[in-house]
Amino acid sequence: MSEALVIGASRGLGLVLSRELTRRGWQVTATTRGDAPPDLTVETLEMTDPAQLAALRARLSGRRFDLLFVNAAVDRGNLAIGEVPTEVFTEVMITNALSPVRVLEALRELVVPGGTVAVMSSEQGSITLNTEPGYELYKASKAALNQLMRSYATRYEGDGHTKLLIDPGHNRTRLGGPDAPLAPEESIPSVVDVLETQAGKPGLRFLDRHGETVPW
């Protein structure tokens, strides 16, 4: 049985991802910051807290996973970048860009040879596609995440892991808002299709939920 570790499954995309993997026969360990969904095996983690991350690494030291998926992001409104308070800029960058890669660094050795490490990104992180105004800080944080993942992939080029940045589309979550065109239950099965199709293909790819390349 394939095993997955999903970071950030309290709600939204991460929760639906964990349940879809379970439905397909994966054994899933999911992390949440508080209440545990009753149908999942859960570990507690606030991923922006290095001490909690180190403790999780110690608790899982004897485990091995075929998939490590990091899902976490915050959005603090649609301000022009010159209007964003410094503390808000720092919070969003730490949560959306720095912390996901810290998680990979801390937990990558738990991933089996030939396994997959994946991070939930967004089309909003594509510099090429940034042709409409709005959400400048969120876009910048996802672009920073993509660049840091590029550096991560370069540093660990020879480790044999499949490395993926996933754009799940615009979903009706707390982050995506109630008017988004997709429900997670619609988009996540396609995301899991991509994860399963890409497994065993080393290197870094930035893909959408259909498996198509998203331009950097």
What per-residue confidence (pLDDT) applies to 118?
98
One-character DSSP codes across 3-63: EEEEE--SSHHHHHHHHHHHHTT-EEEEEESSSPPTTSEEEE--TT-HHHHHHHHHHTTT-
Residue 208 reports pLDDT greater than 90? yes
Q: Is 38 part of any domain?
A: yes
Q: Is 77 part of any domain?
A: yes
In tens, the pLDDT along 185-196 reads 989 999 999 999
In terms of residue numbers, what domain contains 10?
3-208
In tens, the pLDDT along 125-167 reads 999 999 999 999 999 999 999 999 999 999 999 999 999 999 9
Residue 175 reports pLDDT greater than 90? no
Q: Are 76 and 88 in contact (CB under 8 A)?
A: yes
% of residues, the chain, pLDDT over 90: 82
Phi/psi for 182 (5° steps) reads -115, 145
Q: Is 87 part of any domain?
A: yes
Q: Are 119 and 167 in contact (CB under 8 A)?
A: no
Q: Name the token pair of 153.
A: 């992939």
Q: How far apart are CA 62 and CA 164, in angstroms?
A: 25
Please report, for the domain that includes residue 45, its CATH number.
Answer: 3.40.50.720
Higher pLDDT, 7 or 180: 7
Higher pLDDT, 209 or 180: 209
What total number of domains does the chain contain? 1
